[in-house]
Amino acid sequence: MEEWLGKPVADALTEKIRSRAVLAGVMPRLTILRVGARPDDLSYQRGALRRMEACGFEAEVQTFPENVSQEEFERALKKAGSDPDTDGILLFQPLPAGLDAGRIRECICPEKDLDGISPVNQAKLYAGDRSGFAPCTAEALMRILAFYGVNPRGKKAVIVGRSTVIGRPAAMLLLASDATVTITHTKTVNLAAECRQADILVAAAGHAGTVTADCIKPGAVVLDVGINVDENGKLCGDVDAEAVIRDGKAAALTPVPRGVGSVTTSVLAEHLLTAAIRRRGF
């Protein structure tokens, strides 16, 4: 079984981004808005900032307490949207229960919405309109498959997870690449049997150990999107990686960490550059 590391994919994409930025003559600037200090948010933030630095892009982080008011956060988001120095916005999700996430998604400027969470960009994704931004993690999955030579056309793809952040967008992107897609979740009856149909299995349930060795079809490619913290404080995915590796049926597995995350930040940088170029009318 191969271990599909994200670093070579991210490095190749980063080099293309740097070259494109030089040719366009732009220095994009990212604004990150984060509420609270969830470990997975902090991990992603560190990776995003490192990627911006590697690409030569600017970035700032605006942090808010978990009890931030709806009005204050909406003001901050709208200010970033109208700020002429901000080319792109990254808003961490999920938001605390005290905030109306739907209203906040409507406040984000679609042209700066790098992670595809605004209603406009979501509609474009489901309509197959490539002028919008798809969520970075979902798009990272497609970049990994392409880098390692897997064409989804005609293949059976099963996604474990139905969130609008990863599961559903990933389904749309795989469907657009002519895969036959099934969306499952933690309430699916006989989840393992559904997963065993997959040539491409995406684990995005948000729960450690959801995908076990019993879920793997021989020769399947397993993409682990989960970011969880185990009892020892270490990052882990949604796949029981030790069991899957020991079982040996899978053709490939992305590890957590060192897998999808680094590619996600590279896609974020690419979206930022695209937004900056569009804003300048190039």
List, in order, residues 6 or more apart from 202 with CB less than 8 Å away: 141, 157, 158, 159, 160, 161, 166, 167, 170, 223, 225
Full-model pTM: 0.94
User: Does 3.40.50.720 match the CATH number of domain 136-261?
Assistant: yes
> Parallel, antiparallel, or unpaired for β 228-229 and 235-236?
antiparallel
CATH architecture of 25-111: 3-Layer(aba) Sandwich (3.40)
Q: How far apart are CA 157 and CA 194, in angstroms?
A: 10
Burial 36-64 (b: 16+ CB within 10 A, else e): eebeebeebbebbbebbebbebbbeeeeb
Q: State pLDDT tens for residues 29-63.
A: 999 999 999 877 888 899 999 999 999 999 999 99
DSSP letter for 28, please. Answer: -
DSSP letter for 192, please. Answer: H
Tell me the mean pLDDT per 10 residues along the chain, length 282: 96 97 95 92 92 97 96 97 97 92 95 97 94 96 98 98 94 98 95 98 94 97 90 87 95 96 96 96 82
Domain boundaries of the chain, sorted by first residue: 25-111, 136-261
Predicted pLDDT at 94: 87
**Residue ranges of E strands in 68-226:** 88-91, 156-160, 180-184, 200-203, 221-224
Is residue 156 a contact partner of residue 191, using CB atoms and an 8 Å limit? no
136-261 shares the fold of 25-111: yes
Q: How far apart are CA 103 and CA 237, in angstroms?
A: 30
Tell me which residue has tokens 């609270």.
36
